[in-house]
Amino acid sequence: MEPVHKPNKRMPVSAMLDPKIVLPAIGAAFAKLDPRAMIKNPVMFVVEIVAALTTVIFLRDLLTGGENLGFTFQIILWLWFTVLFANLAEAVAEGRGKAQAETLRKTRTESQAKLLSGAGRDYKLVSGTSLKVGDLVLVEAGDTIPSDGEVIEGVASVNEAAITGESAPVIRESGGDRSAVTGGTQVLSDWIRVRITAAQGSTFIDRMIKLVEGAERQKTPNEIALNILLAGLTIIFVFATVTIPSYAAYAGGSISVIVLVALFVTLIPTTIGALLSAIGIAGMDRLVRFNVLAMSGRAVEAAGDVDTLLLDKTGTITLGNRQATAFRPVRGVTEQELADAAQLASLADETPEGRSIVVLAKEKYGIRGRDMAELGATFVPFTAQTRMSGVDAGGSSVRKGAVDAILNYVGGGASTAIASGNAARAMQPVALSEAGREISAIADEVSKSGGTPLAVAKDGKLLGIVQLKDIVKGGIRERFAELRRMGIRTIMITGDNPMTAAAIAAEAGVDDFLAQATPEDKLKLIRDEQAKGKLVAMCG
């Protein structure tokens, strides 16, 4: 899952300095002094034992008036500091995962739902956690879908970036395979009536919380081997330290227990033992910041053995926000006219595509933005039903959108003109048909080049195509080349047609691609690769 980037925001406070993580970690560090917990780390368990031993000796000497109390006190402080620091490092690392789970839990508990009581659109606001299977809720533009469900009425554009990482919104409508919606996603336009299908405790967010909290620390084979080595070295140094008093006595001297303890702790690899588990947990929790949930250290370690990497196209290989790259007019229309109309229709369009059209028209043709208020223009927003947007200004109407939607829009206008008996406009359907064929040909050409066509019409006349391109991320080709040198084969998976997929794959530099992919196709590809003895990873 890729987060939405917002400009002019301060960078998040480091986990080591965030009081919300550090303060609970201090208490957890003392709780981890329980020998039943410490014994999982043999090195630090031994340090805790000798720290307790020196504390007892210090208290005895304090009561009996022993010597070198200051030196003994310093040794005790350093020993307990070593143990507590190890526990604190591990607790802080664990705190990131707990914070992630708490954020998800807060999203679930703070959601509000518009619970419908009948067939109309009358509703009452209730907590999202109170919804039951079968409840009907209304979700309008700007609302967050309160729980997992199924669309039973309406069609809407939904932002699922929080779940899938895809920045481009998707259409969700009743019937078919696009009716399922997920709690925590946001409706951008129109409205939908949703029937709740998941009981509380089994929604997508609930499962994510369980996954984050269930990502318990599991030692990897390499870490187990290192722990065995550290334990072995500790035993060796125990014997070495125990024999020193005998040599000292033979030489006519003596060494106190406190000095022996200090020497022993200096010899054993306390730093490695103290930070080993913390490093592993921190690595897993750092992945969470990039929307990657590592369920165990074993999974992280296994990533180094990957042979085949499958990648979703949108948002992974490409930026996900399509950008306007060219204006393709039909015969009889200049690029300047097409650019002017496309920019006018995009002045109030805040989508990345709309902003890019305004920028391209300004940079390529010097067409500057106009004030919608001065023009007396009315912006027509994009809806999932019409699949187009535009503007009405000064008696003119400009529309841009999906090619088939614009063709239907223009064709519908012509049919109305014929029905009204207007002889002058009765000839327009023939012209529209010719322009429509040309628009379709340009759209096919754009698709073959890996772009997305956006048709533009003004006052019932087709002007041409704005070519949108899903921009491949900078440096992605070099990264794939590096993966190739590492022996990892990359495969791009996309729902695009084969022509568009081939163009994007060639530009990105992947080894292979799978076009018009369904979930079943993805699963088959994974199984085919595994049947060849490959370790397969999926990114997207």
CA dist 303 and 150 (Å) reads 36
**How many C-beta neighbours within 10 Å does residue 236 have?**
12
Q: Write out the two tokens for 504.
A: 């994007």
Q: Which residue has the tokens 């606001």?
A: 125
CA dist 2 and 320 (Å) reads 10
Residue 180: phi, psi to the nearest 5?
-80, 135
Q: What burial letters (b/e) apply to 349-362, b meaning 16+ CB within 10 Å?
A: bebbbbebbbebbe
Q: Tell me whether residue 312 is one of the annotated catalytic residues.
A: yes
Q: At what angle do helices 42-64 and 270-288 cross, to 10 degrees?
A: 130
Strands 512-514 and 489-493: parallel
Long-range contacts from 115-118, C-beta under 8 angstroms, 24+ separation: 116/193
The single residue of 143, 312, 340, 470 carrying the catalytic annotation is 312
CA dist 74 and 320 (Å) reads 59
Strands 512-514 and 186-196: unpaired
Residue 316 has what DSSP assignment?
A: I
The helix or strand, by DSSP H or E, that contains position 4, with its residue range, turns out to be none
CA dist 284 and 147 (Å) reads 28
CA dist 278 and 25 (Å) reads 12
Closest to 114 (Cα-Cα) out of 201, 197, 194:
194
Residue 120 has what DSSP assignment?
A: S
Q: Which residue has the tokens 């199924």?
A: 150
Cβ partners under 8 Å of residue 32, min gap 6:
38, 87, 90, 91
Q: Could you write out the DSSP letters of every residue in 397-434? A: EEEEE-HHHHHHHHHHHHHHHHHTT-TTTTTHHHHHHH
Q: Decide if 128 contacts 147 (C-beta within 8 A).
A: yes
CA dist 452 and 141 (Å) reads 26
Chain Cα centroid distance, residue 330: 40
50 vs 30, 80, 383, CA distance in Å? 17, 10, 71
Q: Catalytic amino acids?
A: 312
